[in-house]
């Protein structure tokens, strides 16, 4: 296990002209944590990553590695491993030379450097490819070389900028698992940037959702998904219905919430018995239905006029095929899946 370090991001601000890329971002990342910065493009996630790497100088604020201020430290003195979106491998060197490169810069003795590079290549399952040219590698193999090169010098922090976005779906899922396993083996503090919600949920200890240069919410994947703190997070993380309290009635007749409620499409049931007495019911008219293989997607127009999405797993949707548009439908959701968004209005 390498000694990994915590990172403190303290009110970091970065503007380009009138455009605010980072708006006083503060974030504490624990030693050994796998944290994902998740957000749409232009949300500031890559700018924040590049500030940590040393390629973007914040206008104000501080970056601390452990308790050392690295805000103005040159990138080559930070000892941070980076995996770039396009891998940025050196095409004029073969696989082994790419992986040995950081060791050569550190004047590691040749024999030791070679052994460490070969060990690292084995760790990312690239044994036997050390003499290959970069041009002769597949996308997945390049990804692994980039990983090996970023960890071979035992950095104390690892940054990854959408490393899987160029891979096809199956390979992406394999690599998600392998990157997470590598993180767990090495125990290295990792900051991962992605715009893919599923990837963030699958891989991370914690997820920081960013939008317009700000961190909207930072929490465990489950909390982010089930208990979003803003409307943006609720909608960005999946098929969220945000409904006015007036459209929702408690099954047991108790007073409803006064705040806007978020209910995810897949939290609904069509059978009141599957939902507890403290659950909620939404009455509406069926506008559209679609069979999506593993589930049915129903669109209901609530009596207030708002449309909501209701997703019923195929296994529980025996009645869905018979529903016709214009029919009255009541959707039920258990209390645990109804989340009041603080301060939000429907």
Q: How far is the CB of 282 from another protein (least distance, A)?
A: 49
Give the three-class secondary structure for 130: coil
345 near another protein, judged by CB under 8 A: no
3-state helix, strand, coil in the chain (%, to 5): 30, 30, 35
163 near another protein, judged by CB under 8 A: no
Q: How many CB atoms lie within 10 A of CB 242?
A: 19
Give the three-class secondary structure for 131: coil
Q: How far is the CB of 45 from another protein (least distance, A)?
A: 17
Q: How many CB atoms lie within 10 A of CB 47?
A: 23
16 near another protein, judged by CB under 8 A: no
List the Cα angle 30/34/40 in 5-degree steps.
115
54 near another protein, judged by CB under 8 A: yes
Please pick, from the candidates 39, 102, 163, 213, the single residue that binds another protein as defined by CB under 8 A.
102
Q: How far is the CB of 160 from another protein (least distance, A)?
A: 12
CB-CB contact of 218 with 47 (8 Å):
no
133 near another protein, judged by CB under 8 A: no
List, in sequence order, every beta strand (DSSP E) within 213-279: 214-219, 240-243, 249-250, 261-264
Q: Which of the residues 190 through 229 are near another protein (CB under 8 A)?
A: none
Please pick, from the candidates 101, 232, 236, 268, the single residue that binds another protein as defined by CB under 8 A.
101
- Contacts by 169-173 with C-beta closer than 8 Å and gap 24+? 171/139, 171/140, 172/199
Stretch that binds another protein, among 88-96, 225-233, 261-269, 303-311 (CB under 8 A): 88-96
Helices (H) and strands (E) in the chain, counts: 8, 18
86 near another protein, judged by CB under 8 A: yes
76 near another protein, judged by CB under 8 A: yes
Q: How far is the CB of 110 from another protein (least distance, A)?
A: 16
Q: Which residue shows structure tokens 């990312």? A: 124
82 near another protein, judged by CB under 8 A: yes
Say how many residues touch another protein, by CB under 8 A. Answer: 26
Alpha-carbon distance of 299 to 211, in angstroms, equals 28
109 near another protein, judged by CB under 8 A: no
75 near another protein, judged by CB under 8 A: yes
Give the three-class secondary structure for 186: helix
Q: How far is the CB of 93 from another protein (least distance, A)?
A: 9
Q: How far is the CB of 209 from another protein (least distance, A)?
A: 26
The DSSP bridge partners found for residue 262 are: 242, 339
Q: How far is the CB of 333 from another protein (least distance, A)?
A: 46
Alpha-carbon distance of 93 to 184, in angstroms, equals 30
User: Which C-beta is closer to another protein: that of 99 or that of 312?
Assistant: 99
139 near another protein, judged by CB under 8 A: no
**Residue 167 carries which DSSP code?**
S
Site residues (vs another protein, CB under 8 A): 53-55, 74-76, 78-82, 84-86, 88-92, 101-102, 105-106, 149-150, 153
């Amino acid at each position: 296990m390498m000694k990994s370090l915590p990172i403190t991001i303290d009110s970091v601000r970065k503007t380009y002209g009138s455009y605010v890329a980072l708006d006083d971002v503060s974030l504490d990342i624990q030693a050994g944590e796998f944290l994902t910065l998740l957000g749409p493009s232009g949300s500031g996630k890559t700018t924040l990553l590049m500030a940590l790497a040393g390629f973007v100088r914040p206008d104000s604020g501080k970056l601390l590695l452990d308790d050392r201020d690295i805000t103005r430290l040159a990138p080559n003195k930070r000892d941070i491993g980076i995996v770039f979106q396009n891998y940025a491998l050196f095409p004029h060197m073969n696989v082994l030379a790419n992986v040995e490169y950081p060791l050569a810069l550190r004047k590691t003795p040749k024999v030791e450097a070679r052994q460490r590079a070969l060990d690292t290549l084995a760790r990312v399952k690239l044994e036997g490819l050390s003499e290959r040219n970069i041009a002769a590698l597949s996308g997945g193999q390049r990804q692994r070389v980039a990983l090996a090169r970023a960890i071979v010098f035992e950095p104390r922090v690892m940054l990854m900028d959408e490393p899987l976005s160029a891979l096809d779906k199956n390979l992406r899922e394999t690599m998600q698992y392998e990157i997470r396993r590598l993180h767990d083996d090495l125990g290295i503090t990792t900051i991962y940037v992605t715009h893919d919600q599923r990837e963030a949920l699958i891989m991370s200890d914690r997820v920081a959702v960013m939008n317009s240069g700000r961190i909207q919410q930072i929490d465990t994947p489950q909390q982010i998904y089930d208990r979003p703190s803003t409307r943006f997070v609720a909608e960005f993380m999946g098929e969220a219905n945000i409904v006015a309290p007036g459209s929702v009635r408690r099954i047991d007749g108790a007073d409803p919430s006064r705040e806007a409620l978020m209910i995810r499409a897949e939290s609904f049931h069509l059978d009141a018995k599957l939902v507890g007495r403290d659950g909620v019911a939404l009455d509406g008219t069926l506008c559209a239905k679609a069979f999506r293989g593993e589930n049915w997607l129903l669109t209901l127009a609530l009596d207030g006029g708002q449309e909501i999405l209701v997703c019923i797993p195929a296994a529980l949707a025996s009645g869905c095929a018979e529903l016709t548009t214009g029919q009255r439908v009541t959707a039920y959701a258990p209390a645990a899946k109804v989340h009041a968004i603080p301060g939000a209005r429907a």
